[in-house]
Amino acid sequence: MTSSTTSCAGIPQPEKPLNNHPSMKTNTPSIASEQLAVERKNFRLDLKENDRGRYLQITETVAAFPRSNTIVIPSSGLVEFRRKLDALIVADTTNPSTQD
């Protein structure tokens, strides 16, 4: 059993950051990769595989900051992830921005 700490909201928090999980190893070779830059952010999309299966790793970096953020989506969820993303793109293009 692993120990954990408790946040002020009473929710157990792992002692080690989640990005230390073995599935997040950066030395796993990519099956396919894509990169894109949006404003001041850079995104790298890597299709990878480990002993648990294939997954999409999305890494966001901002030039002004020395760290990055990464999320991992198991390949079994990619189609549903794309459906949700497509729905958000439609919502963005059909609803006027309140920032203008």
Q: What is the pLDDT along the chain (100 residues), one digit of tens a residue?
A: 444 444 455 655 555 444 455 445 557 899 999 999 999 999 999 999 999 999 999 999 998 888 899 999 999 999 999 999 999 999 999 987 777 5
Strand 12-14 to 30-38 pairing:
unpaired
pTM of the model: 0.68
Q: Where are the domains of the chain?
A: 27-94
Q: Look at residue 27 in the predicted model and tell me its pLDDT.
A: 72
Q: Which of 28, 88, 38 is nearest to 61 (CA)?
A: 38
CATH topology for 27-94 is Nuclear Transport Factor 2; Chain: A, (3.10.450)
Q: Look at residue 80 in the predicted model and tell me its pLDDT.
A: 98
Question: Is the CB of residue 23 less than 8 Å from the CB of residue 55?
Answer: yes
Cα dist from 83 to 64, 78, 87, 93, whole Å: 32, 9, 6, 16
Q: Which residues contact 62 (CB under 8 A, 6 or more apart)?
A: 40, 41, 42
